[in-house]
């Protein structure tokens, strides 16, 4: 037909051949947009949960990166968690027991020896939470504890706690039922060790070290220098009185430092009993190191470990008149301490 009005132009239909259809277009038409969105959300959440459970978590522990993995717990007889590994069913807990002191009486040895027990986990370092960092909060304190199983006891040690007046109240506020360990030593010997440690630190920095005699004796009066911190720390009865205002004596176990050195198993057996634990630390865990003059840890037939050489330093010779004056000074305080705790330690 030649008439333009009668001419009808029809555009051809565009049909996608079956072979060109994508896999998505084959199954998507059967899903509504809402159902597809829901399915994507469910799959994403599931994938995230799998990743959280399987991928190691990284966290800061004592200034180092600790890899936390989910693996089966160790055998109950030897399960000791690592500061770098988290085992399944473990978490960080506030300490149920605290070694409060006293400084230079054997707190490090006590902590290391107790760590041999499979039901005890110990903080690797002194936290100084109650005397220096309390304002950071309990959550900060908890994060510095080791991972532990629910039936294990977490122990932290900071020897300064015993002599800081504000600490007992703060510990009681955290947990009024917490158990307290206090290791004590002949006050005279402890005072010498206290001075010696500070003196060695000063010498390492090329600084002058004042002699022990000039530290403990007031040159003007010739009497014991009561203002010297080493002397004040050794008057145990004053600090113990402060702790007994907040905790009953039944919650405080005193460890004889001399017994821990000479017969560690006997001392540790009493601690195990105090903590309500089975007796698991035995003679097989120790050997006597003749060169050091005290017991060291025997992990197995090939692994042995002694405390750092700075522990158990040989004391210098002290003038007899100074020794006598100090022992006379400490004597009445020692007797009051014996009466207060119901135990005579027999210090000279």
Residues recognised as catalytic: 104
Is 276 marked within a binding site? no
Is 233 marked within a binding site? no
Is 107 marked within a binding site? yes
Is there a contact between 68 and 59 (Cβ–Cβ < 8 Å)? yes
Closest listed residue to residue 104, CA positions, set 186, 209, 205: 186
Is 105 marked within a binding site? yes
Is there a contact between 285 and 306 (Cβ–Cβ < 8 Å)? no
Is 293 marked within a binding site? no
**What whole-number distance in Å separates Cα of residue 183 and Cα of residue 205?**
30
Is 314 marked within a binding site? yes
Is there a contact between 310 and 197 (Cβ–Cβ < 8 Å)? yes
Is 11 marked within a binding site? no
Show the DSSP H helices in the chain as ranges: 23-27, 33-54, 107-114, 129-132, 138-142, 167-174, 187-204, 212-216, 229-233, 236-244, 257-262, 264-275, 320-341
Is there a contact between 107 and 184 (Cβ–Cβ < 8 Å)? no
DSSP state for residue 20 in the 8-state scheme: G
Is there a contact between 121 and 152 (Cβ–Cβ < 8 Å)? yes
Is 190 marked within a binding site? no
Is 311 marked within a binding site? yes
Binding-site positions:
104-108, 185, 193, 295, 311-315
Binding-site positions for 3'-phosphoadenylyl sulfate:
104-108, 185, 193, 295, 311-315
């Amino acid at each position: 037909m030649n008439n333009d009005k009668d001419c009808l132009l029809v555009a051809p239909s565009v049909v996608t051949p079956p072979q060109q259809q994508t896999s998505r277009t084959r199954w998507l038409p059967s899903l509504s947009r809402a159902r597809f969105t829901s399915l994507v959300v469910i799959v994403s959440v599931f994938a995230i949960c799998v990743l959280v459970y399987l991928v190691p978590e990284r966290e800061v522990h004592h200034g180092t990166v600790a890899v936390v993995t989910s693996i089966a717990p160790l055998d109950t007889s030897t399960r000791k968690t690592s500061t770098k590994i988290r085992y399944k069913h473990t978490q960080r807990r506030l300490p149920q027991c605290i070694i409060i002191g006293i400084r230079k009486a054997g707190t490090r040895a006590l902590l290391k020896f107790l760590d041999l027990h499979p039901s005890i986990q110990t903080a690797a370092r002194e936290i100084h939470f109650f005397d220096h960092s309390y304002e950071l909060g309990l959550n900060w304190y908890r994060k510095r504890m080791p991972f532990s199983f629910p039936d294990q006891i977490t122990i932290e040690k900071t020897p300064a706690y015993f002599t800081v007046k504000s600490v007992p109240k703060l510990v009681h506020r955290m947990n009024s039922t917490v158990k307290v360990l206090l290791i004590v030593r002949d006050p005279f010997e402890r005072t010498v060790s206290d001075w010696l440690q500070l003196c060695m630190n000063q010498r390492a920095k090329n600084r002058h070290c004042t002699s022990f005699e000039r530290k403990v004796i007031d040159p003007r009066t010739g009497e014991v220098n009561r203002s010297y911190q080493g002397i004040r720390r050794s008057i145990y009865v004053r600090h113990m009185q402060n702790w007994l205002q907040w905790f009953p004596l039944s919650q405080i176990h005193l460890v004889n430092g001399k017994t821990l050195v000479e017969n560690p198993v006997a001392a540790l057996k009493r601690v195990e009993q105090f903590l309500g634990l089975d007796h698991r630390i035995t003679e097989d865990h120790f050997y006597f190191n003749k060169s050091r003059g005290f017991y060291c840890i025997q992990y197995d037939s090939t692994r042995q470990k002694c405390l750092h050489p700075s522990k158990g330093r040989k004391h210098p010779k002290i003038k007899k008149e100074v020794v006598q004056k100090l022992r006379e000074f400490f004597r009445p305080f020692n007797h009051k301490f014996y009466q207060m705790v119901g135990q005579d330690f027999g210090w000279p």
